[in-house]
Structure 1
Amino acid sequence: MDANTFIEAKELYYPFDIVPEYWDWLVYQGSLQNLKVPVEIYTEINGANQDKKYHDELAKWARTVDVKSNLVLDEELDYGLVNTVITQGYVASPTEADLLKMGRDPFLIAYALTDPQNITVVTTEASKPTKKGANRHVPDVCKHFGVQCCNTFSLVRSLGFSTNWKKSV
């Protein structure tokens, strides 16, 4: 899951005070190994980057033991795959500005490349095939590498989220 899936869910459609069940459900799905967040993405939502806007309810939630132990992917990253994603999916010779623009998206896609038939990248970005270089969107880079990609709403439908999900467990 990309950081934007958490940030937009908190701000737009699953605020903690209105749909707390969603956040419990994410942790539960993580415990079942259905959802995972690479550590590089996790640090974007847990406030570790010291950005004031992330020292909020999302950051507090992300720092809980349940979230860390159930949602954070415990897997070594193949940095060669990250390099491949950057140089073949975005731009062959990236500048510092390019790397900043790409953010941590190449890490997310690199993890998915370890098992592209069974790992799906979840993002709120929409495909924009006309974007080039460091401006490419996650769905387009995923498509380039044969990695499955979906949005938050596809995720919740495929895994059956509802506000009374605990009754079915």
Structure 2
Amino acid sequence: MLYLLDASVLITANNSYYPVDQIPEYWEWLLHMGQSGRVKIPLEIFEEIKDGPKDAEKDLLFSWIQQDESKKALILDEQVDIANVQTVVITGYGADLTDDEVEQIGRDPFLVAHAMTHKEDRCVVTVEVSKPSKKRHNRHLPDVCKEVGVHWCDPFVLNRDLGFRTNWKKRA
């Protein structure tokens, strides 16, 4: 299974439970998982992370993601199928979205579209939780994934499935 990370996974991990400067083992493990082809970030999502910080000088996640080693290990090296992006937008969000709504969705349809390329072998990882009552541009990734038949999980399932431990290097 290839796990495709949403920007929220890295941002929340850094801001909440695995700060880059305090739990470096997690970030080293992510690089290892990326190098072994188990975890990737679509380019569109990478750009979302890269474009995000207000103060890049002080943003440790921004610094980490900009390193050549991080880019090489984690960026998914494939073009998105635009037909899949359109399917995700129409089926997952709505066929008649306004330009403002499409802008508010952001790059999430690209993430799901990359997972659609190999539905049985790919899984979207997000911190978002299912909220079926949300409609149109407010829909959450788990509900959009379900709508188009794509696997999804949260970061803790990813960590369990791939065996993250702070002493992972001793076991690798």
| Aligned with 1:9 (options 10, 13, 19) | 13
How many angstroms does 1:53 deviate by? 4.8
Normalising to structure 1: TM-score of the pair?
A: 0.95
Once superposed, what is the RMSD of the aligned Cα atoms?
Answer: 1.2
Counting only pairs closer than 5 Å after superposition, residues 37-48 of structure 1 correspond to structure 2 as 37-46=41-50
- CA offsets 1:29-50 (integer angstroms, 9 cap, x no match): 001100000000001222xx26
Once residues 150 and 71 of structure 1 are traced to their aligned partners in structure 2, the CA distance between those partners, rounded to angstroms, is: 18
Q: Which residue of 2 aligns with 1:19?
A: 23
Whether 1:109 aligns to 2:103 is no
Q: Which residue of 2 aligns with 1:143?
A: 146
- CA offsets 1:18-77 (integer angstroms, 9 cap, x no match): 21100010010001100000000001222xx26415551001100111111110000011
**Change in 2 beyond 3 A, CA 1:51/1:22:** closer
How many angstroms does 1:16 deviate by? 1.4
Tell me, which stretches of 5 or more residues in structure 1 are unaligned?
none
Determine if contact 2:49/2:62 at 8 Å carries over to the other structure: yes
Once residues 111 and 162 of structure 1 are traced to their aligned partners in structure 2, the CA distance between those partners, rounded to angstroms, is: 28
SS of 2:121's equivalent in the other structure is coil
Q: Sequence identity, in percent?
A: 47
Count of aligned pairs: 167
Q: Which residue of 1 aligns with 2:72?
A: 69
Higher strand share: 2
Determine if contact 1:45/1:59 at 8 Å carries over to the other structure: yes
Normalising to structure 2: TM-score of the pair?
A: 0.93
